[in-house]
């Protein structure tokens, strides 16, 4: 069944973020209040197609019971590798496959993937077609307005919509803009019109500067033909952003303790540097009296046990 046809309107998604939305953090967000749909971090199709890289790819694609429904996001530039990867994903309990044509990371772009696909539209379409013909799962796309100029969407988005993806997520900035300028909400009506003209059955998802559920509903009241909204950095300000709840200090600390527990469990299976966990501390230890002092102490720790001891004291 097509997961995109089963979602409410508007639906909410946690944006795939490299180094953030791994299996541990997704479980934390599920505990706080899950979105309607999760995405994995993106996985390189060439890694999956390589015997040497497959172990790492499968680690990134691991999912927890609380993740379902979840979409596997992939990237690359080799059409045959897209075929091989999407064919295999159908047996791994995913509800769909999403092609990343929007990541602005310079290393990803130098390799020809992510937002670099905007500059090679013929290759992008070949990759999409290979992915679509090789799986029974619905195939969607996440992209940006363009490479350097916002008005590039007028040529780029029709190319994608002509392939009738199951869903199209648009981060309302260009690759060059990164997240340095406000999202171009003023373009939403024109993007809706393009979708309606070319591929009316494609679900349209808006991404960029969306703070929380209330903000998404406010945007939807102005743009009712948008099907869903994707929240990225908003989750850093409030991990309960998919709910109407405003957490207490105690609730945020409990989320941190849960994250520590999940880290210890996951690190028994894979090597995970404790330093990467420190990037999350500001999410839970922020905006309450004593937060800065507590966060400073936590940043000096070297293990989950040390962090837990400081919290409990």
Domains and CATH numbers, the chain: 3-237 (3.20.20.70), 249-312 (no CATH)
Would strands 11-14 and 38-39 be described as parallel, antiparallel, or unpaired?
Answer: unpaired
Mean pLDDT of 135-147: 97
3-state helix, strand and coil shares in percent for the chain, rounded to the nearest 5: 50, 15, 40
Instruction: Return the active site residues.
Output: 103
pLDDT tens for each residue of 43-88: 999 999 988 888 889 889 999 999 999 999 999 999 999 999 999 9
Instruction: For residue 205, list its beta bridge partners.
Output: 169, 228
**pLDDT band for position 165 (50/70/90)?**
very high
Number of H helices and number of E strands within the chain?
Answer: 15, 9
Q: How far apart are CA 194 and CA 160, in angstroms?
A: 11
CB neighbour class for 163 (10 Å; exposed up to 12, middle 13-18, buried from 19):
middle
Q: How far apart are CA 105 and CA 171, in angstroms?
A: 14
Which position has the token pair 């409030």? 238
What is the C-alpha separation between 138 and 305, in angstroms, rounded?
42
Residue 183 pLDDT = 97
Global pTM reads 0.95
Mean pLDDT check: name the lowest of 23-32, 86-95, 193-202: 86-95
**Predicted local confidence at residue 56, as pLDDT:** 86
pLDDT band at 167 (very low <50, low <70, confident <90, very high): very high
């Amino acid at each position: 069944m097509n997961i995109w046809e089963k979602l409410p309107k508007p639906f909410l998604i946690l944006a795939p973020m490299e180094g953030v939305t791994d299996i541990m953090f997704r479980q934390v967000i599920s505990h706080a209040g899950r979105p309607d749909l999760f995405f994995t971090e993106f996985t390189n199709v060439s890694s999956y197609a390589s015997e040497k890289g497959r172990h790492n790819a499968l680690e990134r694609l691991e999912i927890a019971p609380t993740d379902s429904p979840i979409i596997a996001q992939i990237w690359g530039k080799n059409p045959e590798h897209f075929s091989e990867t999407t064919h295999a994903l159908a047996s791994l309990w995913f509800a769909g496959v999403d092609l990343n044509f929007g990541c602005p990371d310079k290393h990803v772009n130098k390799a020809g993937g992510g937002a670099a696909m905007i500059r090679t539209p013929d290759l992008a379409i070949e990759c999409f077609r290979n992915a679509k013909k090789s799986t029974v799962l619905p195939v969607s796309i996440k992209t940006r307005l363009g490479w350097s100029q916002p008005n590039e969407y007028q040529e780029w988005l029709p190319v994608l919509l002509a392939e009738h993806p199951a869903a199209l997520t648009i981060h309302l900035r260009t690759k060059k803009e990164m997240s340095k300028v406000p999202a171009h909400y003023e373009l939403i009506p024109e993007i809706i019109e393009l979708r309606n003209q070319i591929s009316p059955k494609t679900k349209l998802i808006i991404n960029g500067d969306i703070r929380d559920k209330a903000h998404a509903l406010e945007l939807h009241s102005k743009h009712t033909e948008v099907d869903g909204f994707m929240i990225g950095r908003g989750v850093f300000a409030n991990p309960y952003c998919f709910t109407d709840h405003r957490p207490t200090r105690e609730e945020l600390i409990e989320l941190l303790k849960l994250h520590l527990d999940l880290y210890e469990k996951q690190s028994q299976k894979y090597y995970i540097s404790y330093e990467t966990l420190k990037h999350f501390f500001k999410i839970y230890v922020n905006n309450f009296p004593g937060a800065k002092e507590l966060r400073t102490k936590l940043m000096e720790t070297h293990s989950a046990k040390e962090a837990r001891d400081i919290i409990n004291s």
